[in-house]
Chains A and B, each alone.
Chain A
Amino acid sequence: MTITVCHLYPDLLNLYGDRGNVTAFVQRCRWRDIQVRVKEINLGDRVQFEDCDFLFLGGGSDREQGLMAEDMMNRLDSLRAAVENGLAVLAICGGYQLLGQYYRLPDGTKVPGLGLMSHYTEAGDGRLIGNVIVDAELNGLKTRLVGFENHGGRTFLNDLTPLGRVAYGGGNNGVDQTEGARYKNVFCSYLHGPLLPKNPLLTDLLITLALRKKGQNHYLAALDDTFEQLANRAMIDKLLEKK
């Protein structure tokens, strides 16, 4: 059995080290002897989302994000079906915005999103830039996610569940203390850093969900997460404990 990871548009969306999310997912599978392969999907490539077990979608610069949105529109039905069937997805920043209803530009123009989820984004006054700490509950466990945000858009969730609540930083919109969003097995966040390496609980949850899609329901073997915990803890200490 092999888990298939789809990395969407690595050529276009390669800002902020987000490919580290794919690296983290893949390594934590390999360290447990779980077979994994990565399919990189670029503009116009054929892809069957039903054959995919984990999908990663990052953010890019404005021009590149426009190209991505256009290409994704052509794959919308297949993606919607896969998401409704429980596909594990991680979408960061621009990828997160794209899954929602729309992005409203400063001049009022509405750029439509894929509409897979009910959130929407509006251009804000200035960018939210800086380290972020988020209190989240994953698989029944309380955890603190750490990362770095850098976004101009303000996202509002409508009835969606947030990924967590902001303990430090801006989050979705700098106002309502929410960060990210969840829907079925889709996880969205503004956090770069990248997100998964320093937040192994989330990585392992995504691996568990990918395995479950393959009909494998067993627990994951524990790994030595000393470095992961040190890196996560260092940021929490720096921002919260020493204030």
Chain B
Amino acid sequence: MTAIQARRHQTASAARNHIWDAGPLTKIVLAFALVISAFPIYYMFIMATRTNEEAMDVPPPLLPGGHLGENVARLFSTEDAYFLTGLINSAIVAVTVTVSVVFISTLAGFAFAKLRFKGSKILLGLILVTMMVPLQQMGIVPLYELMVTLGWTGQLKAVILPFLVNGFGVFMMTQYATQAVPDELVEAARVDGASTMRIYVNVILPALRPGMAVLALLVFMQTWNEFMWPLIVLNPDNPVVQTSIAALNQAHGTDYVMLFTGTAASVLPLFIVFVAFGRQIVGGLMEGAVKA
């Protein structure tokens, strides 16, 4: 190596190290972002352990108190909120919708990614276009009338059925199947005489499993958070957790600590899932983004 080459090499690696290391400004930005992201959530859990008198202190309390138990008891015994019913209903709705969306999306994703059929490009394009349309807000009047006609208003079916399919899910599974399943694998199975459904069960499903997990988490979260449609179509005595909180807010809006206990309880299941599968969720989001 000549002296010049050596020096150039040195400069390059120095530059390489230098530009990718986090400087003090980066660290400040990240620390600030973290504090801002975490604070309202932290505050919510703190308030759930306090009394209403303490909640009105100026400045407000920032450390946990000892009243969590009584707040929880009060929350679950508040009659006009039906909080426990709401939690159970939300779990039923979210699980059903998640299973359906993931299943239907893997079927369609398999077809779009790995099978050749007439019109597949147009059909996939159609799904992408409809992802851009806010169908839910657009269709509330006919959907409501449909539910009235079927006699389903106030029932969980009414908040499950409209969400059983999801264009985003099909899109994500198509992307995932395209890169996760080599064409040769499908061809080899065909040569061995496997039918399309056998290929789906034995080749596609195992390969899609990580992608399915991420999709399941996203759909679960989205369904758990659904607010507008349940507010319209369900009755107050048979709510989902989000409308139950809205009812609490309306009837006991000044009972901050109970309200906060309710919101804390409503996000806790999602947080547990997030802590357990955080790495996969971040990975899945990032993969989906690059391919979009």
Partners in one complex: no
Chain A residues close to B by CB (< 8 Å): none
